[in-house]
Amino acid sequence: MIRNLVLNKQVLASWVILILVLGSCKQESKTAETIEQNAAGQQSTKNTAPVKTILFFGNSLTAGYGLDPAESFPSLIQQKIESAQLNYKAVNAGVSGETTSGGTARIDWILKQPVDVFVLES
């Protein structure tokens, strides 16, 4: 069962990375324009796009219960994001022992923060 959960999380991780890469295509085209401008001798512009937030919401599987914090699912996604040099931040909002009613009780507070991608683990 744990092996299946790990495989399912790997599939989910692949989809999240794919979405991030596709979403960053627009940003990459702006970077290419900046490079072309610099090559033409125009003034350099710095990419000041704000960091986008990916919020992982769930129970102990999301929180990484019993694991080193660097081995939790959101941390592994953050490592992939950093290796791809994407402008995203993964936030672990998993709580060990969380129930559906507990998640419902805290969702409003969680969503008061700016969230660009919401990942619900159930």
pLDDT tens readout for residues 25-35: 444 444 445 45
66-76, pLDDT tens digit by residue? 999 999 999 99
pLDDT value at 36 more than 90? no
HSE (side-chain half, CA atoms, 13 Å) at 64? 15
Contacts of 110 (CB under 8 A, 6+ apart): 55, 57, 93
pTM (predicted TM-score): 0.62
pLDDT value at 46 more than 70? no
At residue 122, the pLDDT reads 78
Of residues 122 and 114, more confidently modeled: 114
